[in-house]
Amino acid sequence: MTRTITVNHLARVEGHGGIKVVLDGDQVTTVDFDVFEGIRLLEGLVRGRSAEDVTGIVSRICAICSHGHSITSLLALETALEVQVTPQTRKLRDLAYQGANIESHALHVFALALPDLVGHPSVISLAAVNPEAVALALRLKKLGNSIQEVMGGRAVHPVNYVIGGFGKVPSVEELLGLKKQIAAGLEDCGRALEILKSIQIPEFVNEPIKCAALVPEDEAFFFGKTVQVCDAEKTIDLSVSAYRALTNEYCVPHSHAKRSTHEGRSYMVGALPRLTINGGRIGGMARKAWEEIRLSLPSTNIVMNNMAQAVEMIFSVERAMALVDELLAAGLAVEAPAPYKIRAGRGAAATEVPRGILFYEYELDGEGRIAAADVITPTAQNLDHAEDQMRAAVQQGARAGASEDVLRHRLEIVARAYDPCISCSVHVIRR
């Protein structure tokens, strides 16, 4: 006898998506993670736009990752136009990424995923019984936004990032203001850790996770030119400029988003893969948190991604403090953006945004217009992996006799574990 379990409209994620799983007896036959967010086709619509205009448009692919989209777009343009930015610009961009990571992870871990883990339908009902926890999460989220506002001029859809650097370099006073907030944020991280320690991560799914993450070249944890892909069998390094060998995009009929597999198998990007591959670089309070919440990597429990995000949030607060100190110690130079000449060229770039690797590639014509553009978002890469994990979760649950309601709730928990950004995933660019 076949039966179908559906989640019509997934709540507490960005964008519109649903899930359909078909079982024959206790054998899963179909899993569709259906993305029905309206197609925006920005990727095609930017063709013909000038290099200086394009970043302000592609930022609109996603609000919560708008700083990541902007800066990755600029890195691809700077590669194509052969622009060299200063070490100060690199540090300021790194700081912006810490802000984005703090904001995004605080929102997801505490407001979107935590209600699942403590049995609430929403953070609103959670606020009624545990206002301190919610206020704490909001303070950390605000810290991330403050950093993004100082760097980018606005928390959503930044305006201050331009080819070659910044429209206006943040002032010493602004950085001193951030330093104070970051110091308070470090204390809040300590309190957050106490809450996190009390959370029991459910263990209903046990399935290997193939990971992909950028390998940092230096202290800039979210930037790199090499992607590492690893599972239990092997580890492969790929150059970012050859990213198509990783992403191998294809389309499926049930979804408006494109999919990715590597060597025929789905892979995951995000906090859990980053810590699995680059965890050796994590020290300080984040390392202490890692140990105290008993995060064990590599993991076969996808729900642990929420805990990896929590560790990364603490890492980012600490890293933000280190960056502000370095910038202040070096003395902030009021630099104009690095100059460049319009030329034909091609450039690819990738960074680690909160949900995983974001790839950008542009081809520019001789007048500096976009001849072709390609954007591959983390959620687009994760969709196949999410379906595989949903299959495993339902399969394992059904064999253990779980009810349909339990299976449906587990599907939602698995989907939300990825912190999917469905708005992002439907806006894939392709030549």
Partner 1 sequence: MKPRIGIFGLSGCWGEQIVILNCEDRLLDLVGALDIVDFLGGSSINDKEGPLAIAFVEGSVANEREEKALQRIRERAGLLVACGTCACFGGVAAMDAAVSREEVIRQVYGDGGPSAGWDIRPHRPLSDFVKVDFSLRGCPMEKSEFLLAAASLLNGDVPQLPAYPVCLECKMNENDCLLISRGLPCAGPVTTAGCGARCPGYNVVCIGCRGPVEESNLSSIEKIFTQKEVSELDVRRKLRTFAAPALDRNAHGGLA
Q: Which residues of this chain interact with partner 1, rule CB under 8 A?
A: 9, 11-16, 36-45, 47-50, 53, 56-57, 60-64, 66, 107, 111, 115, 121-125, 127, 131, 134-135, 138-139, 141-142, 145, 153-157, 159-160, 162, 166-168, 250-251, 253, 256, 258, 412, 421, 423, 428-431
In degrees, rounded to 5, the angle at the alpha carbon of residue 182 between the alpha carbons of residues 178 and 183 is 120
State the nearest-atom distance from the C-beta of 426 to partner 1, in Å.
Answer: 9
Of residues 125 and 239, the one with the C-beta less far from partner 1:
125
Question: What is the 8-class DSSP label of residue 263?
Answer: T
Please say whether the beta carbons of 423 and 63 come within 8 A: yes
Please state the closest distance from residue 172 (CB atom) to partner 1, in A: 17
- Sequence-distant (6+) residues with CB within 8 A of 398 are 23, 26, 28, 407
Q: Are 199 and 114 in contact (CB under 8 A)?
A: yes
Residue with tokens 């940092």: 216
Q: Are 375 and 428 in contact (CB under 8 A)?
A: yes
Shortest Cβ 303–partner 1 spacing (Å): 16
Give me the least distance between CB of 228 and partner 1, in Å please: 28
Work out how close the CB of 166 gets to partner 1 at its nearest, in angstroms, rounded to a whole number. Answer: 8
Q: What distance in Å separates the CA atoms of residue 46 and residue 54, rounded to the nearest whole number?
A: 6
Considering beta carbons, is residue 73 or 276 the nearer one to partner 1? Answer: 73
Q: Which residue has the tokens 């399935």?
A: 207
Judged by beta carbon, residue 56 or residue 202, the one nearer partner 1 is 56
Closest to partner 1 by CB, 150 vs 212, is 150
Of 331, 344, 342, 359, nearest to 86 (Cα)? 331
Q: Which is nearer to partner 1, 24 or 132 (CB)?
A: 132
Least distance to partner 1, CB of residue 281, Å: 29
Q: Choose between 56 and 208: whose C-beta lies nearer to partner 1.
A: 56
Smallest distance from partner 1 to CB 124, Å: 6
Q: Is 264 exposed, middle or buried (0-12, 13-18, 19+ CB in 10 A)?
A: exposed
| Residue 9 CB, nearest approach to partner 1 (Å) | 6
Contact 230, 276 (CB under 8 A): yes
For partner 1, give the closer residue by CB, 172 or 215: 172
| Separation between Cα atoms, residue 77 and residue 388, nearest integer Å | 35
SS3 label, residue 250:
strand
Nearer to partner 1, 143 or 282 (CB): 143
- Strands 17-24, 161-162: pairing is unpaired
